[in-house]
Amino acid sequence: MDNRPIGLLDSGVGGLTVVKKVVQKLPHEATVFIGDNANIPYGDKSVAEIIALTRESVNFLLQKNVKLIIFACNTATAAAMAAIQKEVAPQIIGVIQSGSVAAIKTSKNKQVVVVGTQVTANSHAYKKEIGLRDSAIAVTELAAPKLVPLIERDAPHAEILPVVKETLQPLKGQEFDTLVLGCTHYPIIRQEFAQVLGQGVQIVDPADQVAQYTYNVLQRDNLLSASAEPGVHEYYTTGDVRMVNELGKSFLQEPNFTAKHIEG
Ligand code: DGL
């Protein structure tokens, strides 16, 4: 048993979509979340820059004495997880392995699409992870660089919908049955994806599988919290707390959601 918190990081508010699923699955666990809003987007930065920024967030979480770290960011998982896992003791869980497992379970016709940042698409991390487990699955990776800035400023539905349409336009005529939300910001606009895709296409949010995997790891390593009380959750941002608080309140449905600012 281990009552220390689980640490989670992202470049911005997207990671809250993972926090939500982890807290639902593990309600007695404490969490510490850091969103690096001062440096968002990570999706168009170099791998070296992403490693350096992610390392800062990891060091912050280590100071908070976390027992496990979740990279609640596909871009950081693709670009920085392998390098940083070598440097730190706590296990790091990324979102891409879990997203790949979920996609394989979901797809019947073995045609999967992954939408993510430019860095995630260029890394072909999903293609590799899915291919390792089932080489018969065809994976199309698409970059959607315009979506994260819209989500971060809480743009209205009418502004987001045409950008989702434009992003998915190259898929016209393809017979895929599964689409992976390969950026942790996208579950916030899942409704827009569903509207453009219509029925017939299953949407996969890797966070469900991340939460299950986190539970499995904590149980395996005897790290589950012994507390009978609901876990305490701390939120930090290197950016402007106002927008993070607004999105946190509405998205997590936590009226008292309060993020603290730290220097990034
Ligand atoms: N939420 C991050 C991800 O899952 C990406 C946002 C960014 O570009 O910084 O990839």
Cis peptide before 41 (omega within 30 of 0): yes
Among this protein's residues, is 73 annotated catalytic?
yes
Among this protein's residues, is 183 annotated catalytic?
yes
> Is residue 38 domain-shared with residue 48, that is, in the same domain?
yes
Q: What is the CATH number of the domain that holds 60?
A: 3.40.50.1860
> Is residue 51 domain-shared with residue 61, that is, in the same domain?
yes
d(CA 148, CA 13): 10
> Is residue 139 domain-shared with residue 80, that is, in the same domain?
no
Point out the domain boundary residue: 206, 227, 246.
Answer: 206
> Is residue 166 domain-shared with residue 200, that is, in the same domain?
yes
Model's pTM, two decimal places?
A: 0.97
pLDDT tens digits for 216-229? 999 999 999 999 99
Instruction: Say if 120 falls within a structural domain.
Output: yes
DSSP letter string, 109-177: SSEEEEEE-HHHHHHTHHHHHHHHH-TT-EEEEEE-TTHHHHHHTT--HHHHHHHHHHHHGGGTT----
> Is residue 193 domain-shared with residue 108, that is, in the same domain?
yes
Point out the domain boundary residue: 170, 187, 206.
Answer: 206
Instruction: Say if 195 falls within a structural domain.
Output: yes
CA-nearest residue, atom 2 of ligand 1: 73
Our answer on whether the CB atom of 75 is closer than 6 Å to any ligand 1 atom is: yes
What was the pLDDT predicted at 252?
Answer: 85
Instruction: Say if 22 falls within a structural domain.
Output: yes
Instruction: Tell how far the Cα of 105 is from the centroid of ligand 1, in angstroms.
Output: 24
The pairing of beta strand 68-71 with beta strand 31-35: unpaired
Provide Rg for the chain, Cα atoms: 17
What was the pLDDT predicted at 183?
Answer: 98
Would you state the structure tokens that stand for residue 197, as one six-digit string? 């895709």
Instruction: Say if 181 falls within a structural domain.
Output: yes
> Is residue 153 domain-shared with residue 107, that is, in the same domain?
yes
What was the pLDDT predicted at 250?
Answer: 86
Q: How many domains does the chain have?
A: 2
What was the pLDDT predicted at 182?
Answer: 98
> Is residue 140 domain-shared with residue 153, that is, in the same domain?
yes
> Is residue 149 domain-shared with residue 23, that is, in the same domain?
no
* Burial (0-12, 13-18, 19+ Cβ within 10 Å), 185: buried
Vertex 204: Cα angle to 145 and 135 (nearest 5): 95
Instruction: Tell how far the Cα of 15 is from the centroid of ligand 1, in angstroms.
Output: 8
> Is residue 102 domain-shared with residue 188, that is, in the same domain?
yes
What was the pLDDT predicted at 228?
Answer: 95
> Is residue 36 domain-shared with residue 164, that is, in the same domain?
no
> Is residue 59 domain-shared with residue 110, that is, in the same domain?
no
Amino acid occupying residue 215? Y
> Residue 82 belongs to what domain range?
6-94+208-261
> Is residue 114 domain-shared with residue 166, that is, in the same domain?
yes
Our answer on whether the CB atom of 40 is closer than 6 Å to any ligand 1 atom is: yes
Our answer on whether the CB atom of 74 is closer than 6 Å to any ligand 1 atom is: yes
pLDDT tens digits for 113-172? 999 999 999 999 999 999 999 999 999 999 999 999 999 999 999 999 999 999 999 999
Instruction: Say if 156 falls within a structural domain.
Output: yes
Point out the domain boundary residue: 161, 182, 206.
Answer: 206
pLDDT tens digits for 36-58? 999 999 999 999 999 999 999 99
Instruction: Say if 1 falls within a structural domain.
Output: no
